[in-house]
Every structure is written in structure tokens, then in C-alpha cells.
Amino acid sequence: MTDITSIGVIGGGVMGSGIAQALAVGGCSVTVRDLNDDLIAKSRHTIVDGRYGLNRGAERGKTTREDADAALAGLSWTTDLKDLANVDMVIEAVPEDLELKKKVFAELDGIVGAQAIFASNTSGLAISDLNKAVSEGRRPRFIGMHWFSPAPVMKLVELVHAPETAEETVQALESLCQRSGKVSIRVKDAPGRYGFVANRIYFAAVREAQKVLEDGIASVEDINKAMVYGFNWPVGPLAMIEGATKGWQ
Ligand SMILES: NC(=O)c1ccc[n+]([C@@H]2O[C@H](COP(=O)([O-])OP(=O)(O)OC[C@H]3O[C@@H](n4cnc5c(N)ncnc54)[C@H](O)[C@@H]3O)[C@@H](O)[C@H]2O)c1
């Protein structure tokens, strides 16, 4: 099994930019593809000057200036999918829409080398639905790679394997995660059930928190305090969603 060293990230939004940064810090060369120059400028800004970006990371001692500069030197941006023809792996991070993701994978299948791994950062779509978009020969190298936001900071990556996913593909991504300072877990694809492991358990807690609120048992502020001070959660169950969806400024 050869190490994955060159990666294409499809979609430079909240997740794609964070994933690209984390993998560049891990030593990979990463090309981010988005649809136009404005979106590319936004992605670049997030990675260089965003709240969890390279410059603030260096200022706050999370990385050295040299490592931040090396990561930036390993990053590039493009609007042209053909620039990803020779990467070892692509990670798709376009909006959570099955048909859009399938269209993107089908397009990539015709452009990216046959040996490359295809991964989706979907939050919960079935990998065995998404992999139908690529040729049968690619399916052993098709996998879910679900990151957490903000990706440069959060350590967990869920590796979601469909029945067609080869063991070597899982192992190649486990090695990539380890080299990038991430902790991976293996998750069996579960078609018909949205969400993998961490979000399913987390949203069960959020649903219960909402019920506590609806029943008039405690205020939003006190529900959040309960979990922060009672269980050392970094933020309360009713406070986490905003940063994850709007991005971390
Ligand atoms: N936000 C989170 O906390 C989070 C966490 C884990 C996983 N996810 C998943 O990650 C994926 C992306 O989510 P996000 O929050 O980063 O979305 P986002 O809207 O911030 O970013 C999506 C990006 O994809 C781009 N895009 C759309 N079509 C494209 C195409 N054909 N080629 C290249 N780029 C294209 C958009 O222009 C945009 O920049 C979704 O599947 C989501 O469920 C999100």
C-alpha cells in the first residue's frame, strides 16, 4: 500500500477548506476545487486568515511559523477539475445533496486516474448510494470520510465502508489520518439510516435538550450550562449547531 500524498478536495466551503488545511499541515499536497474565483478567494482566506486558519494557528502556538508556511506552500486552488487528474485521492465536500454529489463523482470518475481513492465527507448519505455514480472498478476504492468541524481542530474522522469498499482502502485512509494527527474510527455503511456514529449519538442528546426546554424544565442558557459544567462539554447541546453550519469566523 503506497501512502496518499497528493489530494484533491472538491468544494472549498466550511468543511472542504478545513479538510484541505488539515491535510496540508499533515504534509500532503492539496488542491481545492470550487466553482469560481470568488469562492476560491473565500476558501483561501478561511485557510490563511480564518479563526482556525494557518496564521492564527501560528500566532497561538498551535503550529510553528515554518510548518504553517510549509502547509500553505503545499496548497493550491483551481476551478478546473482536470487539474486533479493525477491525485492519489479526492475528497468530496460539496453541499449535502445526493444527486449533486453523484454528479460530481461521475464527472471525477472520467477524469481522475483509475487507482485514485474517492472519499465523500457526507454527513450521513449512504456510501452504497453514492458509489453507484462511479464505475464498478472504482467501487473498492470508494469510501466515506466524515470529518468534524472545525476540521483543522477536531480530531475524529469516521471512515465509512460500504460492502464494496476494499480493506486496503480503509487502511490507506487510516494511515492518512494517523499521519495528519487525526483519530479514525471504522463505521459500517447503514443505508436507510441517516448519520454515522458521533452525530447520531450527539443529536439524540440535542433532541432530549429540546424536550427539556419544551417541557419548561430549564432555560436554554441553563440547559447549556448543565452539560458544560456537569459533563465538561465544550459548549452546551443547544449552542453547537451555529458554528458548524455558518462556519467559524
Ligand atoms: N458543516 C459541518 O459541520 C459539516 C461537518 C461534517 C460534514 N459536513 C458535510 O460536508 C459537506 C460540505 O458541507 P459544508 O458545510 O462545507 O458546505 P458549504 O456550503 O460551506 O461548502 C460547499 C462548497 O461546495 C462548493 N461546490 C458546489 N458544487 C461544487 C462542484 N460541483 N465542484 C466544486 N465545488 C462545488 C460550493 O461552492 C461551496 O463552496 C456536506 O456534505 C456536509 O453534510 C458538514
Give 249's pLDDT tier (boundaries 50, 70, 90).
low
Q: Is the four-CA dihedral 145, 150, 152, 154 of positive or negative sign?
A: negative
Tell me, yes or no, whether 1 lies in a domain: no
**Containing structural domain, residue 18:** 6-188
- Which pLDDT score is estimated for 243? 53
Residue 227 and residue 158 share a domain = no
E strand intervals along the chain: 6-10, 29-33, 75-78, 89-92, 117-120, 142-147, 156-161, 183-188
Burial of 18 (0-12, 13-18, 19+ CB in 10 A): buried
For residues 237 and 241, give the distance between their C-alpha atoms in angstroms, rounded to a whole number. 8
Place of cell 458554528: 243
Q: Does the Cβ of 35 fall within 6 Å of ligand 1?
A: yes
Q: Judge whether 146 counts as a catalytic residue.
A: yes
pLDDT mean across residues, the chain? 95
Residue 41 and residue 136 share a domain = yes
Q: Does the Cβ of 39 fall within 6 Å of ligand 1?
A: yes
The per-residue pLDDT for range 122-177, each reduced to its tens digit, is 999 999 999 999 999 999 999 999 999 999 999 999 999 999 999 999 999 999 99
Select from 168, 188, 208 the last residue of a domain: 188
Task: Please give the average per-residue pLDDT across 36-50, as a whole number.
Answer: 98
Q: Is the model's pTM score more than 0.85?
A: yes
Which one is catalytic: 55, 123, 174, 175? Answer: 123
Number of domains in the chain: 2
